[in-house]
Chain A
Amino acid sequence: MKSLADLEKIREEARRMTELREEKEQTKVIIGMGTCGIAAGARETMKAILEEINKRNLTGVTLTPTGCLGLCEQEPIVEVDIPGQPRIIYGKVTPEKARQIVAKHIVNNNIIGEWVIGRK
């Protein structure tokens, strides 16, 4: 890294990459993978989501881990971000609930109201 301009270039590129990703209308599934989340079972939840995505041959869906949001009581937390729609945060997502979120929300665009803990 030699200058601020270098950094700016990387930043632009990174931003473009993210935007490119969004342009392709990718649905993002974000899962809290901090230690709290893992202790509450986030690994199993993530596995279930992956299995479900693969089983259904879904393309255009990415699964990204992120750090803890801080709402530990609600872990494991899964966020579904479908382009052009508010981001939906689900709490206490067991593997079983995760499968249903994929089936109902991601595939059929039906938000499962009773598990929603926030919208962004």
Chain B
Amino acid sequence: MLAKTDCSLPTPKLSAILDKYKKSPGSLLEILREAQAINGYLSREILQLIAEEVGVPESKVYGVATFYSLFKTAPTGRYIIRICESAPCHIRGAQDVLAAIEKTLAIKPGETTPDGKFTLEFTSCLGLCGVAPAMMINDQVFGNLTGDRVREIINSF
């Protein structure tokens, strides 16, 4: 089982990343970010490999990976919907937008659709308060959301 997973490890890509940052101390976040881009998440095996190569305990790498909300240690959907639920969006009706997403996709925050397309999660303020309520889908930003608009956006993916 473990052997099989090992074979699927993207070692050449990962070594390229590790090489790039070899001479810059303090680059663990950069390494994790780029490593995550390979598979969309940081598997236990990848974290182990990074720890070994960087020369720090695995516990530290795991600690960093789980501290920051943009790092994922389990697979996610192809599109991550991050809906802002900070105060300014809350005041402008983020709950209704959330309800519309939950209904459209039939998932709750923290869950992924069965087809593996969307993951829904909360985010802290995205700084898009001028066009609240707001959300991001992967790197794209969307503002002035309403129940209808959010359904339209999701269907366009």
Contact = CB atoms under 8 A, between A and B. Distances in A.
Interface string A6-43: 00000000000000000000000000000110111000
6 contacts: A36-B143, A38-B141, A70-B130, A72-B130, A73-B130, A75-B130
A36 B131 CA distance: 6
Contacts, number: 27
Given A39-B142, A40-B144, 5 more contacts: A36-B131, A38-B141, A39-B128, A39-B144, A73-B130
Interface in B116-157: 127-131, 134, 141-144
Contacts of A38: 141
Interface in A56-88: 68, 70, 72-73, 75
Contacts of B134: 39
B144 to A, nearest CB: 6
Nearest to A38: B141
Interface of A: 35-36, 38-40, 68, 70, 72-73, 75
Contacts of B127: 35
Contacts of A75: 130-131, 143
Contacts of B131: 36, 39-40, 72, 75
A115 B41 CA distance: 46
B123 to A, nearest CB: 14
Nearest 8 pairs of A and B residues by beta carbon: A72-B130, A39-B143, A39-B141, A36-B130, A40-B131, A39-B131, A40-B143, A36-B131
A24 to B, nearest CB: 35
Contacts of B143: 36, 39-40, 75
Please indicate which of the listed interface residues A35, A38, A70, A75 has the most CB atoms of chain B within 10 Å of its own CB.
A35
